Amino acid sequence: MGPSSHQTAPLPHRDQMIRALNARDSDYEGVFVTAVRTTGIFCRPGCPCKMPRADNVEFFHNAAEALSYGYRPCKVCRPMEAVGATPHWLAPLLRDVQQDPSIPLKGRDLRRHGLEPARVRRWFKKHHGMTFQAYLRALRINRAFGLIRHGSSVTEAAFAAGYDSLSGFSAAFRRITGVSPSVAPGTAVIHISRVLTPFGPMFAGAVDEGICLLEFTDRRMIETQFKRLHKLMGAVCVPGNHPHFDRLEAQLDEYFAGDRKEFDLPLVIPGTDFQRRVWRALMDIPYGRTRSYQEQAEAIGSPKAVRAVARANGDNRLAFIVPCHRVIGKNGKLTGYGGGLWRKEELLRLEGVSR
């Protein structure tokens, strides 16, 4: 039995996937799985097992496809677990933390939950780039930030967040947010979360007014984008959920399934007047169509500003939503995409652009 003909996104070129496989490139996890004909096993791209010969492998979008062709999951890299998704053994703990991040969760507390602290730490370092304790501190500070902004005193916020020392709370608050608790009431918060997509995991950012960030976690400029948002919006980035994320993920699912051509989300897009003109023009490019950088410059009434238009495209912080992937070179070649040219090519193919 073969897989369904309905696929959420096209695969990268085979040569590209072979290179990723040879490099054990975990940046491609969530984009494809590798199946080995001689063993009947399928794996993640970053699997540490012995490298198979290129002519013995085939590639699938996901585990479901590989299973439908009779392959079984690797016991080492466990490709049945979604990239970045919460494993079943960790889910109860995270539910408790979301309900009350002030609960004590040192090593002995984790063991009482039946969890090995080192295992929890490794999972958080791999999927979130921080230890579990750092994640917990960030959640506590996020909660305290909200309390202070809504009128609670610094002392009330500190104890509500589980701190038994005002000095310890103030130091942690300043380290994570960059500001003192005493000035927090006038400081905005950008809530940051991870979103899983067929093109790899992404960071999403939201403020009460709308979505302000959607970037690939492996983009080289991601730290720069965080700093720019902090400066442009006078806001601090803290991990946490926001109602806008549910709507964002629903619309992304529709887009990758081919059921949505335009996004309908509240957006916050700070930038210069020129950048905002370029970004508005990007959103005017129809689904399934492309423009050259020259045509994009002409569309904003600045035909000689081709290089400036390209720079503004590169500064776009809202992948897919502000579709900078629809701008190509004058000769039709693909150039300049922060998420990688392979993603640009596959996004255009998803939208039906023939090349």
Active site residues: 43, 324
Phi, psi of 177 (to 5 degrees): -100, -20
CA angle 355, 313, 294 (to 5 degrees): 65
- The CA distance from 306 to 293, in Å, is 6
- The long-range contacts involving 97-102, CB below 8 angstroms and separated by at least 24 positions, are 97/136, 97/139, 98/139, 98/241, 101/136, 101/139, 101/140, 101/142, 101/143, 101/161, 101/162, 102/140, 102/143, 102/160, 102/161, 102/162
**What's the distance, Cα to Cα, between the start and end of the chain in Å?**
31
